[in-house]
Chains A and B, each alone.
Chain A
Amino acid sequence: MSFISLLWVLLLGSLLGLELIGKVPPTLHTPLMSGANAISGITMLAALTLIVKAEGNVPLLIIGSVSLGFALFNVVGGFFVTDRMLAMFSRKPSNKK
């Protein structure tokens, strides 16, 4: 990929983000923030790439592995916690006539 086309990807991704999130009710802002936060852990792909390309360089393997751990902490924790919050919204209203 040339640098210029990567810049296009950056631009279009940003515009997509602005459009997608423009119309969210305040109710969902906390779950959305936490969900978006989990997605920012996509940097785990970079950590994976680092480990795969390390070619036996142990310090690099360790850095990659720690980085992967941090990213997955973000991703797994983020999605679980978002699910926990959203589960409360979808719960059936009880004791209602």
Chain B
Amino acid sequence: MNLPVIIKFVIDLLAVLLLALGIKGLSKVKSARDANRLAAFAMSLSVVGLLSYYLGTSGIAIQSWIWIIIGSIIGSFFGAILAKKVPMTSMPETVALFNGCGGMSSLLVALGVAIFPISSGQENFDFFKSLINEVSISVSIFVGAITFTGSIVAMAKLQGWLSTPGWTQSKVRHFVNIVFAVASLIAFFDLINGNTSSIWLLVIVSSLLGIGVTLPIGGADMPVVISLLNSYSGIAAAAAGFVVDSQLLIVAGAMVGAAGLILTQVMCKGMNRSLVSVLFGGSLSAQSTASSGSGEYTNITSCSVEECALTLEAANKVIIVPGYGLAVAQAQHTLREVTKKLEQNGIEVVYAIHPVAGRMPGHMNVLLAEADVPYEQLKEMDVVNPDFPATDVVLVLGANDVVNPQAKNDSSSPLYGMPVLDVQEARTVFVIKRGMSAGYSGIKNDLFDLPNTSMVFGDAKKVLNDLIGELKDLGVGEK
């Protein structure tokens, strides 16, 4: 072994170690930020390792440097701009977009190697080796293309650029997707048989498959899909690792792939859906309209902001249940103002965070942290559920399905079995909501009919602003 090989070996080993420590550190609130930087450092280290290896062995041509610099500057520039500019509420879409581009990168590498085979040094033809090469190229293209088109569709749907076309809810879509899948299999075998041009067929049909699989999935399930696609981009990277013979790529890709799968599983559990039903079941609202969920509300109590303020003033313990509606209204800062006032009056305020509040697990925590809510006040579902009976007031802000008692009481409900927050146990529940529309699941919420629930109709931000005014008039938090 000569020096460059040893150096690269050591750097690669170090990079893998740091990446693993980075992912590990990301699992604790205290170390997460440093861990993210550590992972970023490990990534740059791996680039240094690779470049120094080639500098020490074959050398890097000026022309290569130019193209490296062009690609790096453009990619990094747009990545950094987007990361700085994007609002926190659009996090799921942003992750989807980044993810799709990672998949695209793996696809392009495999495509490049397939069209222009790289001279690997030893030119002796080895059937087994070339077979492995073709298989890894195909996998990289297949998974990379699905990741790319799937992520782009997911992003477009979350942004509201794309709706769910009607035909995708019928059984036709399974047939169409099976056709795409079979076609990619044919292209794959054709490619292994030495027909290089079928690579284009593979690119096209796997791209279409990515679209066909993602398009029928409803908005509420999109985070699960993004998480799954995140896992795919890891697999695509690992496949690209086989293409260019890099252990580092394989390890890092495999780690991300495994991580994405775990996260996907966690999300499915939180939403009480199986991965199979998310992927093949179509959108939930389409199935549930006929079932028990739809029905008329019979016992709605609506109340004014003033009444709400009076009840809050008299409370000792208040639990806030934030949902995606709060984030959409950008009302997290206003909410923080309200809770500050209550706290100044000696009222105990806690935020109950459902595992899938917002659009992704942990999304709501990010949004509330943005509004300066102390981390200790955010309580997870299992911790906060026993507290509801001893709670005076619950404020539900833009959350719906996660506070639906049907999930516990009604075995015919599509939500049945989903873990929910037991807000109905509290003395008084205020639901701040624009109107009587259903949540993402499209299911009626029995909570609204309960005698201890009052609806405060209006935009979350406006209602909260009014609430601040009312609280001020009552002299809450003036001290």
Q: Which residues of A contact B (CB under 8 A)?
A: 1, 3, 6, 9-18, 20-57, 59-91, 93-96
Contacts and interface: CB of A to CB of B under 8 A. Distances in A.
B468 interface: no
A76 B72 CA distance: 10
B80 A80 contact: yes
Interface stretch (B309-317, B372-380, B402-410): B372-380
Contacts of B72: 68-69, 72
A43 B20 CA distance: 17
B156 interface: no
Contacts of B325: none
A38 B98 contact: yes
Secondary structure at the B interface, as helix, strand, loop or mixed, is helix
Contacts of A89: 29, 32-33, 365-366, 369, 375
A37 B375 CA distance: 25
A85 B102 contact: no
A39 B39 CA distance: 7
A63 B29 CA distance: 40
Contacts of B36: 31, 35, 79, 82-83, 86
Contacts of A61: 63-64, 67
Given A52-B64, A69-B71, A27 B256 contact: no
24 contacts: A3-B129, A13-B250, A28-B362, A30-B360, A30-B362, A31-B362, A35-B22, A36-B255, A36-B259, A38-B43, A41-B43, A41-B102, A46-B105, A46-B109, A46-B237, A48-B68, A62-B67, A63-B108, A66-B71, A69-B75, A74-B233, A89-B366, A89-B369, A93-B375
A35 to B, nearest CB: 5
A20 to B, nearest CB: 5
A51 B80 contact: no
Interface size bucket, B side? 35 or more
Interface in B220-236: 226-227, 230, 233-234, 236
A48 B254 contact: no
A43 B79 CA distance: 16
Interface string B82-109: 1110101001001100110110111011
B79 A91 contact: no
Given A13-B252, A26-B380, 9 more contacts: A10-B238, A16-B254, A30-B366, A32-B362, A37-B98, A41-B98, A42-B237, A70-B101, A77-B79
